[in-house]
């Protein structure tokens, strides 16, 4: 394995280890997201057809907002001395971006998988004919969110308003991802093809990865 990928995997492994110890994502963000899924029906008339219609929008909204919280979790934020140490150790900034994205991606996939049964239980949406077809869309959606979260997190590192600012920067740019994933689900439900929406997701992920690679070095200077 090349030095680049070894570095990226080390960063991802470190992030997941820290998450395993601190439990910020699994212990706080995830239950909070589940609570949001639970609270929405309480704010409606409780009509079964309304809840069934709301199932997918609530799912995408919660995965977007709480996914951002996961990607920007405090325990994954490196302090300035830690960043300086990584620079002195010769860590490739692009490998750092890839590693951070990978760890956030794993956590986002986890969030998505936990929320699916909750939404199905509480909202009882129309069954999707071939749910397995949604897996690539979900994976690409989570990957895009992970990259956006990593980029927004690096842009706002060290700022007092980071908690509100980073999701504000990321959310409008995440719209093509939400569109791609949500329209894939609609198309599958109607028995139509999802090639166009998959291509939108792939194109957005590619654009974000280019942005991540190109800005990795200037962003490294920002944080040090």
Nearer to another protein, 14 or 162 (CB): 162
Does 128 bind another protein (CB under 8 A)? Our answer is no
* Spatial contact of 223 and 84, defined as CB atoms under 8 Å apart: no
Residues 6+ apart with CB under 8 A from 188: 128, 129, 130, 131, 133, 134, 194
Nearer to another protein, 61 or 165 (CB): 165
Nearer to another protein, 25 or 149 (CB): 149
* Contacts (CB under 8 A) with another protein, residues 141-180: 151, 155-156, 159-162, 165, 168-169, 171-173, 175
Nearer to another protein, 94 or 115 (CB): 94
Q: Could you tell me the two tokens for 91?
A: 């860590």
Residue 99, phi-psi category: left (phi > 0), alpha (psi -120 to 50), beta (remainder) = alpha
**Rg, Å, the chain Cα set:** 18
Does 65 bind another protein (CB under 8 A)? Our answer is no
The residue ranges that bind another protein (CB under 8 A) are 151, 155-156, 159-162, 165, 168-169, 171-173, 175, 207, 211, 215, 218-219, 221-222
């Amino acid at each position: 394995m090349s030095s680049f990928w070894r570095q990226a995997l080390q960063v991802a492994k470190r992030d997941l280890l820290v998450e395993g110890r601190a439990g910020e994502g699994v212990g706080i963000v995830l239950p909070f997201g589940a609570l949001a899924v639970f609270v929405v029906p309480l704010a409606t008339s409780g009509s079964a057809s309304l809840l069934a219609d709301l199932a997918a929008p609530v799912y995408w909204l919660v995965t977007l907002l709480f996914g951002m919280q996961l990607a920007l979790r405090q325990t994954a934020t490196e302090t300035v001395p830690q960043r300086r140490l990584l620079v002195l150790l010769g860590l490739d900034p692009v490998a750092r971006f890839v590693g951070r994205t990978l760890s956030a991606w794993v956590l986002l996939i986890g969030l998505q998988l936990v929320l699916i049964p909750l939404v199905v239980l509480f909202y009882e949406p129309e069954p999707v004919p071939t749910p397995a077809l949604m897996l690539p869309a979900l994976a690409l959606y989570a990957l895009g969110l992970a990259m956006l979260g990593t980029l927004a997190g690096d842009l706002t590192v060290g700022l007092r308003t980071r908690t509100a600012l980073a999701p504000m920067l990321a959310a409008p740019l995440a719209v093509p991802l939400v569109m791609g994933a949500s329209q894939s689900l609609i198309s599958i439900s109607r028995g139509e093809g999802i090639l166009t929406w998959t291509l939108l997701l792939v194109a957005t992920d590619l654009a974000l990865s280019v942005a991540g690679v190109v800005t990795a070095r200037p962003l490294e200077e920002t944080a040090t």
